Each structure stands twice: as C-alpha cells, then as structure tokens.
Amino acid sequence: MAELENNAYFWQKVDTLFLSSGYTLKKKKGESHDSFKNLVYPTDYGRVNTNGENGLSIYCGSGDRNKVTALVVAADILARELDVKILAGCNSEEEEEILRFLNQTDFQKTILIRRGSAIPGWAFTDN
C-alpha cells in the first residue's frame, strides 16, 4: 500500500495555485456567519479566486498571509461534497480554533493537513 507523501512538490503546486489566484476577504475575525449567527469566525475568512464555481475558502491567520501553512479537508454530508480550505499565515493555535469552528456541526467534519517539506525518494537521481 502506498503512503501519503506530504512533500515539497505538492506544496509548491498549492503555493502556485494560491499566489497566482488572489483572494477576497468576506469576514473579519470575530464576525458572525450570515445565516448562523452563533458561528463566529476565528480568523479572517475569504474566497480564493479560482476557475471553480465558488472558489476555495481561505482562513487568514496572524502570520504571513502569502504562505499556505495547512489545508483542511471537510466532508459535508448536507452539501454532499468534500471541500478543501486553505489556511494562510496560521499558527498552531489558529489552526485549532479553525478546526473547532468547522467541526461544530454534526453535518460536517474536517481534518487538517499541515505543510510538509520532505523531498520524496523518487525525486533523487544518480546522475
């Protein structure tokens, strides 16, 4: 069975997608969700401008917002989809706050994929 390789080449592609797309902030940290007033955003929130219909969600932390620090994958049974969310400039405390925010409902659960920097073995050559 193949193992997941959390490697530098994957994150290089994520960086290229993110940095070449731009994003628009929709909510500031501490603001409530439009439909669910009890949901308060733990960081600034926005949308990455992609070719997709809705784009990608982005949570911007207190660090360098030009650096993707992690991804969140959400399984949403109401929307019947898997959704990837970008975390930019987030420290570990902000990552935990975002996970708590996203996992408040029984209809959506998420996992966090922290940025890796390993170079996979197949990338090395003898030449």
Query: How far is it, in rounded angstroms, from Cα 74 to Cα 108?
Result: 6
Query: How far is it, in rounded angstroms, from Cα 118 to Cα 116?
Result: 6
Task: Pick 126 or 83 by higher pLDDT.
Answer: 83
- Minimum mean pLDDT among 2-6, 72-76, 98-102: which range? 2-6
Q: What is the value of pTM for the model shown?
A: 0.86
Query: How far is it, in rounded angstroms, from Cα 45 to Cα 55?
Result: 13
DSSP 37: T
Instruction: Please state, rounded to an integer, the average pLDDT across all residues of the chain.
Output: 88
pLDDT band at residue 102, thresholds of 50, 70 and 90?
Answer: very high
Q: Determine the pLDDT at residue 114.
A: 92
For the cut 90, the answer to whether the pLDDT of residue 48 exceeds it is yes
Return the SS3 of 76: strand
